Amino acid sequence: MILAANWKMHMGPDETRRFAKRFSELVDPKPDRQIVFFPPAVSVEAAATAFAGRPDVRIGVQDVYWEPKGAFTGATSVALARAAGATVTLIGHSERRHVFGETVEDTHQKVVAACEGGLRPFLCVGETLAQREAGETEAVVSAQLHAALRGVRASLLVDLAVAYEPVWAIGTGRNATPDDAAHVHRVLRGLMAGLGIVESAPILYGGSVNPGNARQLLARPEIDGALVGGASLDPEVWAKVIAEADAAGGAGAPSGA
């Protein structure tokens, strides 16, 4: 089970340290449960230091650029992310795609750079409301997955995690039903198998996960974890999400490296 907190553009270094202190009072490590924090880039080092005593916690960046170094203002390379203490990166989050215009070709280059440079990629896919209503969900996630991963050696993708985040469910308070999410996760699992990706690669659900719906979603064997925005910003609420996930029974793929 993987419980990942995407803090988006919230939480500076001081808030990160305060969060980590309170979090460690509230949540004990548990075997087979990995917690990942994706703070903003400026807080990655603070998070890595503050959670250093927690073997169950990984720190990630929210985005990464594929070039190794150079004149790329505002960008973070894989090596810079690692130097700050990150071991994981989100790739293709819907806000990167829809707010910043990231293309499927970009996601492909980022996946390759992350895997080659030793950052675990969490590839995000998901359809918009218009696409869902037009019956295009499977075609959209398939196109996003294939464009990002096609041609990448399966041996390079052993650490891949995928997050299904329907755009209409992000920050809206409207989550996918467990049945709808489980269906798309089965579709993704089939597509990943076709690309030779190991069956243990986790598939997370994201989109308005909160303490009230986490247990039902995570009880589904197709759903190996959650990628959570709003409900991960307060340590008390985030601890409740984690407790609900624990109560769901921890079914699903191993959390991996």
- Residue 207 binds to ligand 13P (criterion: CB under 6 A): yes
- Residue 170 binds to ligand 13P (criterion: CB under 6 A): yes
Active site residue 185: no
Q: Which helix (H) or strand (E) holds 133?
A: helix 129-133
Taking the CB of residue 100, how many other CB atoms lie within 10 A of it? 10
Do residues 81 and 63 touch, judged by C-beta distance below 8 A? no
Out of 95, 102, 165, 244, the active site residue is 165
Residue nearest to ligand 13P (CB): 229
Do residues 90 and 61 touch, judged by C-beta distance below 8 A? yes
Q: Which is nearer to ligand 13P, 89 or 208 (CB)?
A: 208
Do residues 78 and 118 touch, judged by C-beta distance below 8 A? yes
Q: Could you say which of 127, 165, 222, 224 contacts ligand 13P (CB under 6 A)?
A: 165
Q: Which stretch binds ligand 13P (CB under 6 A): 41-49, 105-113, 146-154, 165-173?
A: 165-173
Q: From residue 50 to residue 89, what is the string marking binding to ligand 13P with x (rule CB under 6 A)? A: ----------------------------------------
Active site residue 45: no
Q: Which is nearer to ligand 13P, 25 or 87 (CB)?
A: 87
Q: Sign (positive/negative) of CA torsion 223, 229, 230, 234?
A: positive
Do residues 50 and 21 touch, judged by C-beta distance below 8 A? yes
Q: Which is nearer to ligand 13P, 62 or 255 (CB)?
A: 62
Do residues 112 and 68 touch, judged by C-beta distance below 8 A? no
Min. distance of Cβ 37 from ligand 13P in angstroms? 12
Q: Which is nearer to ligand 13P, 230 or 250 (CB)?
A: 230
Taking the CB of residue 99, how many other CB atoms lie within 10 A of it? 9
Compute how many residues bind ligand 13P; rule: CB under 6 A. 14
Q: From residue 8 to residue 27, what is the string marking binding to ligand 13P with x (rule CB under 6 A)? A: --------------------
Q: Which is nearer to ligand 13P, 23 or 37 (CB)?
A: 37
Q: Could you say which of 40, 117, 171, 211 contacts ligand 13P (CB under 6 A)?
A: 171
- Residue 3 binds to ligand 13P (criterion: CB under 6 A): no
Structure tokens at 55: 């073997």
Structure tokens at 156: 């390079």
- Residue 209 binds to ligand 13P (criterion: CB under 6 A): yes
Residue whose pair of structure tokens reads 């609900």 in the numeric block: 244
Do residues 206 and 165 touch, judged by C-beta distance below 8 A? yes
SS3 state of residue 28: coil
Phi, psi at 123, each rounded to 5°? -85, 125
Do residues 38 and 4 touch, judged by C-beta distance below 8 A? yes
Tell me which residues are annotated as active site.
Answer: 93, 165
Which residues in this chain contact ligand 13P in the complex, by CB under 6 A? 6, 93, 165, 170-171, 206-209, 227-231
